[in-house]
Amino acid sequence: MSRPFTLFTGQWADLPFEEVARLASGWGYDGLEIACWGDHLDPWRGAEDDAYIQDRLDILEKYNLKCWAISNHLKGQAVCDDPIDQRHKDIVGSRVWGDGEPEGVRQRAAEEMKMTARTARRMGVDVVIGFTGSSVWKYVAMFPPVTQEMVDVGYRDFADRWNPILDVFDEVGVKFAHEVHPSEIAYDYWTTVRTLDAIGHRPAFGLNWDPSHFVWQDLDPVGFLWDFRDLIYHVDCKDAKRQVGNGRNGRLGSHLPWADPRRGWDFVSTGRGDVPWEACFRMLNTIGYEGPISVEWEDAGMDRLLGAPEALAFVKANAFAAPTAAFDAAFSSGD
């Protein structure tokens, strides 16, 4: 099993797409997980403009890169979120934001996710990674008291908003890989179960496995792979480091910026945190995952031009392929 190694371009969208392609190729990446922001990929153009799609493909070919997945986390976030506020204005762009009326933002975000599925198909890509947003994340502290009906309404809202989007994914033969992540409708193990139930376990909706969000929540990323093994549509390698134990640093981050030593956890370059990578890669072999291994590089305390090639070297050294034969097969080799 030979899996390609890709770089997620979301944290590089301040650079021109061709520059990111040049850098990634020089470091030895096999391809890019292309983000639908910056100038990297416009799903509205991509859904209709043949010349635009060819331009993106030509840049990849120029640098001997391929694309197996595209990502639209930022617009997916706005599909279900409540409230819609300045945070969304800063990430969704003027086309989706419009006049800022919340329901209009949600509807335009949903339309962009449909366009993203169509663009993926025209790119020859089978998977779109992203967020869903959530109208119930604001209740996570459960105080003031939250009724079960309020939570139920949130999951119904998710299903009502995402089923029409997934209809388009089905129509074009593309799958959506939701990244289990705080602030989403599925942010841990049990909310993932509930989310899948809410949409009737339709195959168009699967999971993007990113273990960094499991580490600081004290969840088992290896067991998650096993339990949801048929739904792991994509893998992002991002790491996190816990910084608790001193009696002051809390798991919720204390509204402190990234890289602040008072935080209870932080994102760090892949291989420098608390993700049990060897066990994770062994489990990916066990479940037969053959898709790309994508480095999502985030580390506010490290220069990315150092971190991205270092992370690739770490992942290549540790994401070993499954064996082609059992080690004890030679014991029965005959006379």
Of 87, 98, 175, 168, nearest to 133 by C-alpha is 87
Write down the pLDDT at residue 211: 98
- Residues paired with residue 69 on neighbouring β-strands, in sequence order: 33, 127
Instruction: Return the pLDDT at 37.
Output: 98
Dist CA 48 CA 114 (whole Å): 12
pLDDT, residue 324, reads 78
Q: Average pLDDT in the 111-132 region? A: 98
CATH architecture of 5-325: Alpha-Beta Barrel (3.20)
**CA proximity to 316, closest of 1, 5, 9:** 5
What is the reported pLDDT for 323? Answer: 81
Residue percentage of the chain with pLDDT more than 70: 97
Average pLDDT, the chain: 96
Per residue in 202-237, pLDDT (tens digit) is 999 999 999 999 999 999 999 999 999 999 999 999
Residue among 118, 120, 87, 107 nearest 161 (CA) = 107
pLDDT (tens digit per residue) in 153-194: 999 999 999 999 999 999 999 999 999 999 999 999 999 999
| Domain limits, the chain | 5-325
Determine the pLDDT at residue 2.
80
| Mean pLDDT score, 27-35 | 98
Report residue 205: phi and psi, to 5°.
Answer: -110, 115
Rg (the chain; Cα; Å): 20
